[in-house]
């Protein structure tokens, strides 16, 4: 809990003096009386089993009122984080390549599932897929099951538009409040759409980091049984534009990585998920503390009058 007006806690000094004034020592009889013991017993019974309870409730009420005056900020239950992470996945046909097992896209899906498992609860995660164009598969949400199902729905497309994928992710972050990071994964070069460096410049203006990940094994070539061979000539098994990914990460303050195996990819996504900082949304709870303080104070006064009606 943090306070917007901590100086108001000085009211607690007044509370301490008030409690000292309410405290009374036991009066001592100046003259002996034959019925003194009986009268003391009757007084104790009249006060009830918890004679200190009214004063305690009243003091608790004043304490909460003093906290209310200090304007406390509390993380409220049910509120989602202000942070957003958008997973941007290349689904071009070259992602069918089997240098990462069982293929590049399935390895990317499994790494994304690792990210979902390891990311802080409450973190909103979105999913964008791109080939020749980009589309939001699922907007940012803390619902892991829906994201899991969305990962399973990814399908292959033609061409590669890295800049479009970044811009689509930025649109989702903007709609979600403007704070977030992008985790970009691709195995190729930009073929169409907006210049990826222009998209990276826009991300930098928004303060959004882009972590750029390239996947593929240099020197690997598809065999006759490889699915990519069904689409005709396969010009290159490894076409990752390393310089572009480095430039995108450098411009936005993110990380850039070149991944050679599915194990490496899952490990990277796990580390990135564990490094995400969760900024819990806080709201001023002055009204809540004031209400509770008033209730306890009135309850203490009412209970005192009930136990000591005279």
In this structure, are 63 and 199 located in the same domain?
no
Task: Tell me what the mean pLDDT of segment 90-110 comes to.
Answer: 91
Residues 118 and 247 in one domain: yes
Sign, Cα dihedral of 252, 85, 176, 161:
positive
pLDDT confidence of residue 77: 44
pLDDT value at 86 more than 90? yes
- The CATH number of the domain where 157 resides is what? 3.40.50.410
Q: Label residue 124 left, alpha or beta by phi (over 0 means left) and psi (-120 to 50 means alpha).
A: beta
Question: Does 295 lie in the same domain as 155?
Answer: no
Residue 260 vs residue 306, higher pLDDT: 260
Whether 292 and 158 share a structural domain? no
Any domain includes 260: yes
Residue 41 falls inside a structural domain: no
Mean pLDDT of the residues in the chain: 81
| Helix and strand counts by DSSP (H, E) for the chain | 10, 9
Do 58 and 153 sit in the same domain of this protein?
no
List the domain range (segments joined by +) for residue 88. Answer: 84-220+237-274
Question: Quick one: 211 and 304 in the same domain?
Answer: no
Total tally of structural domains belonging to the chain: 2
User: What CA–CA distance (Å, rounded) separates 109 from 95?
Assistant: 11
Question: Is the distance from CB of 81 to CB of 278 less than 8 angstroms?
Answer: yes
Are residues 200 and 289 located together in one domain of the fold? no
- 255 found inside a domain: yes
pLDDT in tens, 278-296: 665 566 667 777 788 778 7
CB 292 within 8 A of CB 93: no
Count of beta carbons in the 10 Å neighbourhood of residue 182 = 29
Residue 8 forms part of a structural domain: no
pLDDT(260) > 50 = yes
Same domain, 70 and 157: no
Whether residue 267 sits in one domain with residue 137: yes
- Regarding whether 244 and 151 lie in a shared domain, the answer is yes
pLDDT value for 9: 65
The answer to whether the CB of 97 falls within 8 A of the CB of 237 is yes
Average pLDDT over residues 47-51: 56
Same domain, 139 and 288: no
Question: Average of pLDDT values for 117-146?
Answer: 93
Same domain, 128 and 255: yes
pLDDT tens digit sequence for 218-238: 878 777 667 766 555 455 567
**Residue 257 in this model has a pLDDT that exceeds 80:** yes
Q: Is 187 part of a structural domain of the chain? A: yes
Distance between CA atoms of 55 and 66, rounded to whole angstroms? Answer: 16
Q: Which of 84-88, 154-158, 251-255, 297-301 has the lowest mean pLDDT?
A: 297-301
Mean pLDDT in residue range 30-58: 59
- What's the angle, vertex CA 199, arms to CA 195 and CA 217, rounded to 5? 70
Q: Over 19-30, what HEC string results?
A: HHHHCCCCCCCC
Domain for residue 25, yes or no?
no
* Ordered strands of the 2-3 beta sheet: 2-3, 72-75, 282-284
């Amino acid at each position: 809990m943090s306070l917007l007006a901590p100086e108001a806690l000085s009211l607690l000094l007044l509370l301490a003096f008030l409690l000292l004034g309410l405290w009374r020592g036991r009066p001592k009889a100046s003259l002996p009386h034959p019925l003194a013991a009986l009268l003391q017993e009757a007084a104790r019974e009249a006060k009830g089993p918890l004679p200190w309870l009214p004063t305690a409730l009243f003091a608790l009420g004043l304490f909460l009122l003093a906290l209310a005056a200090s304007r406390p900020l509390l993380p409220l239950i049910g509120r989602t984080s202000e942070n957003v992470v958008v997973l941007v996945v290349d689904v071009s046909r070259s992602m069918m390549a089997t240098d990462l097992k069982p293929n590049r896209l399935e390895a990317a899906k499994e790494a994304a599932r690792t990210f979902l498992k390891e990311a802080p609860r409450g973190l909103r995660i979105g999913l964008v897929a791109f080939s020749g164009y980009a589309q939001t598969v699922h907007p940012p949400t803390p619902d892991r099951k829906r994201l899991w199902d969305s990962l399973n729905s990814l399908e292959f497309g033609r061409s590669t538009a890295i800049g479009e994928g970044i811009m689509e992710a930025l649109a989702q972050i903007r709609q979600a409040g403007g704070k977030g990071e992008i985790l970009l994964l691709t195995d190729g070069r930009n073929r169409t759409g907006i210049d990826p460096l222009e998209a990276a410049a826009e991300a930098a203006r928004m303060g959004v980091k882009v972590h750029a990940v390239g996947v593929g094994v240099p020197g690997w070539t598809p065999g006759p049984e490889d699915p990519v061979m069904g689409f005709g000539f396969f010009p290159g098994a490894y076409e990752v534009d390393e310089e572009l990914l480095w430039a995108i990460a450098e411009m936005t303050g993110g990380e850039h990585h070149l991944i050679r195996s599915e194990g490496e990819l899952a490990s990277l996504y796990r580390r990135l998920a564990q490094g995400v900082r969760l900024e819990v949304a806080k709201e001023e709870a002055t009204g809540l503390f004031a209400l509770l303080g008033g209730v306890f104070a009135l309850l203490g006064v009412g209970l005192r009058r009930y136990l000591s009606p005279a």
